[in-house]
Structure formats: structure tokens, C-alpha cells
Amino acid sequence: MKKTIELLQNSDELKRIDTELDIYLEIPHIAYAEVKKKDGGKALLFTNVVDKKSGKKFEEPVLMNVFGSYRRCELLFGRTIESVADEITKLLHMKPPSGLKEKITLATELFSLKNIFPKRLDCEGECQEIQYLDRDIDLYKMPVLTTWEQDGGPFITMGQVYTQSLDGNMVNLGMYRLQVYDKNHLGMHWQIHKDSSHFFDQYQKAGKKMPVSIAIGGDPLYTWCATAPLPYGVNELLMYGLITKKPAQLVKSLTTPLYIPKDVDYVIEGWVDPSEMRIEGPFGDHTGYYTLEEPYPVMKVSAITMKKDRTFLATVVGKPPLEDKYMGWATGKIFFPLLKTTTPDLLDYHMPENAGFHNLILAKMQPLYKGHAKQFMHAFWGAGQMSFVKHAIFVDEKAPLLEDYEAFTSYVLDRFTPKSMFITEGILDALDHSSPETLVGGKLGIDATVVNEAKAPELLEDSTLLEKVKKLVDDAVNVHQYMKDTNNPITVISVNKTKNAKEYFNALVPLQKHLRIVVFVDDTKNDVNNAYMLVWRVTNNMDAQRDIFVQDLMVGIDGTNKTELDGFTREWPDDVDCTPSVIASLKAKGVWDFDEELYNKFQL
């Protein structure tokens, strides 16, 4: 971690903040704003950290936004992201050598692979220089942040969670939020689809307690490896060896059988009793909404160890863009070769950060036959973490760059008709709040690999269209049309909702010669002129089976918050918003330098 700080400092990628700041809201709010600046802002090192509630002043600094730019990602990887992807591609396509020269090349490549396997040491590590056991255990000795006002408490947000299967033959490294309940208990947010949850099921069936060791800090690549979507049973630390060409050096935890990297800054060890569950949350998550209170397993801490000279690593989640934008970019590039093994005709894919990654994927492919795109949809929705994706748009090889959103959108809209859509049902991320039931909901695929005969509407000015809309929909407040030069302009209508959106859509059918794609959003908290945040809102709020309506060439999308008007019986969560009094305090201290225009653009 010290080397990382030096690297960032020498590369002009680090900002030190020496003003006294609180772990409750203040530090996270600054980091939340910083990553939204151009090119991700700077990594932030908070050197004067306090807990005002307890009066405690911490020795260690807090480091945030470490992965928060493309440049910082590559600095931390020590190489280009593309070079890692190329190496994985080579491994996947390794062939028997046909001659002496190829044999020598293969032998060299295979010899280099010896360094990817983690190495277990017979000694204690720097992470165990300070040891707290029994009555000395106190999670509040660490500067764990409370990020949002409605959060259920402090949460560790960049913990490396090490677990193993019941028989000890498989190990897993994952990253899950961890709620601090008290001095020696943590909430384990193991979503039902995750590997650690599969291990937990084994211990639960056997009636045995499950060992867990949680590391914080060390080489930031350990933390990135914890997010790597590797197949079940594959040790994520193999990626560390592949990237760095040196094995992760591990030491045994003091009170669990698990091994952790010797140079991490903190280790929290403990045991999870499968018979004990506790309410976890709420938590302002990367969806930009609070995830609701639900029962999750509890870990009783059996030891805390740490370095003498340590740094606490944390991240902040909420509305995009965030640090996960850049971590997700690296992950997408690196694991593209693995995805191609399932879909070999895939040319490229991209997950826009303002759709929360799992809410939308854009994919370019080489279509070879009728229905090929639909085959890809099924493959995506059945492949590991890709199965959580709600909405997928497929284009052919002639399409523009996926990251060129304006050109890409024009390309899709010129080819789109309602028959381009494929709506089905599948599993959803546990954080999804919009489906009628948890974990399962609607999925939308759009096949733009073929040209459909889409007739452009007769366009009206926004003001004229709004007048006509208001005559049919009393609750309409504002209208804005996007992509007006395409065959399928997108008309966003904000409403003060008193009816189900389908009633609004049906009322607008007489205007269908002027309309093609109509999106309804609540007037409260939405700006019809802010496309970036509208994508965030609508992809979060819609369930394809319930919220898409079709009448001839006209398609409606309900992006409003769901209530009893929609037959919605689940609790609808609040947006993640900054606390105004905290912003005012930070301004008074002279540490809030975030532009007001960006504040409004990203709806902080």
C-alpha cells in the first residue's frame, strides 16, 4: 500500500487532504464527488481522520478512489489492460507445438506460468504485526466509513473476503459489503448467486461453523482480483500471479484455517454460525438506490490483526459515475476472451456505467444466420455474472464503436421496430428493486443486427408536442425528444403520476404519427434534458415484462417509481443522495471543490 501511494504521488494521481474529517459521511461525500470529475479526479489520501461520535482520532490515513481512472488502473496493473487480455487469449488457444522452435516457445510460456500459483509461507506476515484477540477485539479501532445517511451503520466496502469449501479443496476470494454491527460482529452480504454463498450452503447443511478471513489493503490488485468473475472453484489470486508474474505470498490466519496475503494492511478473522441470521442494511449501493433490510449471515470476529504502518482502503458507491466504472472497464477487457469461448462470434461488448453495468449491455457480433442474436441473448443470460444483465442490445460488425453512444444509438434506432424486441424472464441481481419479486424478473433483448422497415414519424417541436400530450394526459409536466434525426425518436415525458403508465401510453395512441418510443418518468427528481441520468433511472426502474407497451410502431417504457398503482407490493427504495448539511460543512472547511454544474448533472 505504501508503494501504491508513492506510485500515485509520483504520477500526479494523488491528492492529500490534511483537514480533520469525519468517517461519518464527510470523507465518503468528498470521494463521491471527486470520482465524478473529469478523468475520475485524483486518488484521495485523508490523513486526519476522526470519529466525532466517539471522539476517536485514528493513526492511519484512509485511501479512496484508487482505481478511479483509466490511467490509475493501468498504473496499478503495471501493464496495459489489453496485454492481460492478450495473454489470456494465448492461454485459451494454446496448441501442441509442431517443431523445435514452437516447443521452445511453448516451454518458455509454460515455465512462466509457475509464478501464477499463490505460495503459502510458514511464518507470520506484516499484516500480523499487531494482534487483537479475545476481549481486545474491537472493529471500531478501524476507520470504517458510514457513507450515506440512511445506511444501517458503518460498512467495510473494499474487503477481500477469503472463504473455503467445507472439504477445504476449493477457496474463494470475493468482495462483499460488510456491515459493522458492534465490536465483534459483521454482517455478510453474500448474495444467493455468489460463490461464498454456495460454500455457506455446504456448512449450513453440515451444521458446522464456516471460517472467514477478511483482508483490507495490501497490493490493490488483491482487491481487484476479489471482483474477478472467474468460474466457480477457481482461486481468484491466480489472476494476481498472471498479471504481476509473481505469486501472491500467503500466511495462515491466526484463528481460522484460511490463508491471506502477507502484506495486506488489516485482517479480520472469524466464524459464521449458519444458524444465525441478522438484518443487514439498508445500504446506499452502486445501483444509486438503497438496498433494503434483509436477513444475512453473521460473522463473529475471533481475531483482528494489522500492520504497524497501515492505510485503510475504502470505496464509495451510489449514483454513477463511480470508481467501479474503471474497475469494470478493466474486468470487461480482461475477461472478454473467456466470454468468447461461449459466444465465439462476439466481436466486442460494453456495459455503460450509467446503467449500473448489469442493467444494460451493448454487444457487437458477426451474425451468421437468422436468429443468431437471440442465440447470443440466451448465451449471455446463462453465462456466470452475465446472467444478471437485464437489457441487451446486439448490433452487427458494421455498427459504430460501442462507446460512441450517439452514433451507436442512431444506428440502433434506424433499424428498430417493435419486432426487434425479445422479452423473457430470468434471474436478476439481488440488488435489483424493480421486478415484481426478488431475484427473478423481465429481460429485454434488442436485435439490431438486421434492418427493419421503420417509418420515421412526423416530428413536432417539444413545446407543440407538450401541448398535445397535456390534452390527453393531465399529469404530464414536461417533454423532451432525443435522436430526432432517426426513424425512432425517443420522447421522454415527465409526469406527476396518479395512474399506471400504461394508461398514459394508451391515451397517447392518437398521437402515434408523431411518436415512436415514449418513455415515462416521474417529474420529481428527473430532468427530461439529462440523458445520462435518465438512462440510469429508466434501466434501474423498468421490468421488461411489466413496463413495455406496444401499439403498432409505437413503444412505451415505464421508467417511473412503482407503487400500488402498478400492483407493486414490494418496498420501493429511496435514491442515494448527499446530505445537504454535510456539503455545507465541507464547503465551510474549504474542502468541497466540486463544480455546481456537475453537482446538478449527476444529481448528487
Determine, yes or no, domain membership for 571: no
Quote the pLDDT of residue 331: 86
- Tell me: cis bond preceding 231? Omega within 30 of 0 counts: no
* Same domain, residue pair 23 and 130: yes
Quote the pLDDT of residue 100: 58
Last residue of a domain, one of 313, 330, 355: 313
Quote the pLDDT of residue 98: 61
The residue type of 185 is H
Q: Provide the mean pLDDT of the chain.
A: 92
Quote the pLDDT of residue 198: 83
Could you report the per-residue pLDDT of 97-144, keeping only the tens digit for each?
Answer: 566 555 555 455 555 567 788 999 999 999 999 999 999 999 999 999
More confident residue, 453 or 158: 158
Rounded Cα distance, 91 and 498, in Å: 57
* Same domain, residue pair 422 and 560: no
Give how far Cα 545 sits from Cα of 68, 192, 373, 519, 536, Å.
35, 23, 20, 15, 19
pLDDT band at 558 (very low <50, low <70, confident <90, very high): very high
> Strand pairing of 62-64 and 312-313?
parallel
* Same domain, residue pair 417 and 480: no
Residue 438's domain comprises: 342-448
Q: Coil, strand or helix: which one is 485?
A: coil
* Same domain, residue pair 188 and 298: yes
Could you report the per-residue pLDDT of 389-444, keeping only the tens digit for each?
Answer: 999 999 999 999 999 999 999 999 999 999 999 999 998 888 899 999 988 999 99
Q: Beta-strand (E) ranges in 404-508?
A: 421-427, 440-448, 476-482, 490-495
Q: Are 154 and 23 in contact (CB under 8 A)?
A: yes
Give how far Cα 148 sits from Cα of 24, 138, 311, 316, Å.
8, 23, 22, 9
* Same domain, residue pair 39 and 125: yes
Percent of the chain with pLDDT over 70: 96
| pLDDT at residue 93 is higher than 60 | no
| Residue among 284, 243, 245, 247 nearest 73 (CA) | 243
- State pTM to two decimals: 0.92
* Same domain, residue pair 230 and 373: no
Give how far Cα 437 sits from Cα of 426, 565, 568, Å.
12, 16, 9
Q: Are 431 and 281 in contact (CB under 8 A)?
A: no
> Strand pairing of 361-365 and 346-350?
antiparallel
| Residue among 506, 510, 520, 511 nearest 550 (CA) | 506
Determine, yes or no, domain membership for 387: yes
Quote the pLDDT of residue 92: 59
Determine, yes or no, domain membership for 453: no
CA torsion through residues 224, 230, 236, 242, sign: negative
Determine, yes or no, domain membership for 104: no
Determine, yes or no, domain membership for 190: yes
* Same domain, residue pair 46 and 188: yes
Determine, yes or no, domain membership for 88: no
Number of domains in the chain: 3
Check which CATH number belongs to the domain holding 128 and give it: 2.30.110.10
Q: Coil, strand or helix: which one is 237?
A: helix
Largest separation between any pair of C-alpha atoms in the chain? 80
Q: Coil, strand or helix: which one is 589?
A: helix
Tally helices (H) and strands (E) across the chain.
Answer: 17, 31
Determine, yes or no, domain membership for 265: yes
Residues contacting 392, CB < 8 A, separation 6+? 360, 361, 362, 363, 377, 380, 381, 443, 444, 445, 446
* Same domain, residue pair 377 and 485: no
* Same domain, residue pair 284 and 387: no
Percent of the chain with pLDDT over 90: 77
Q: Coil, strand or helix: which one is 109?
A: helix
Check which CATH number belongs to the domain holding 403 and give it: 3.40.1670.10
Give me the residues paired with residue 50 across strands.
Answer: 22, 57
* Same domain, residue pair 431 and 476: no
* Same domain, residue pair 397 and 472: no
Determine, yes or no, domain membership for 422: yes
* Same domain, residue pair 364 and 422: yes
Rounded Cα distance, 254 and 557, in Å: 55
More confident residue, 229 or 508: 508
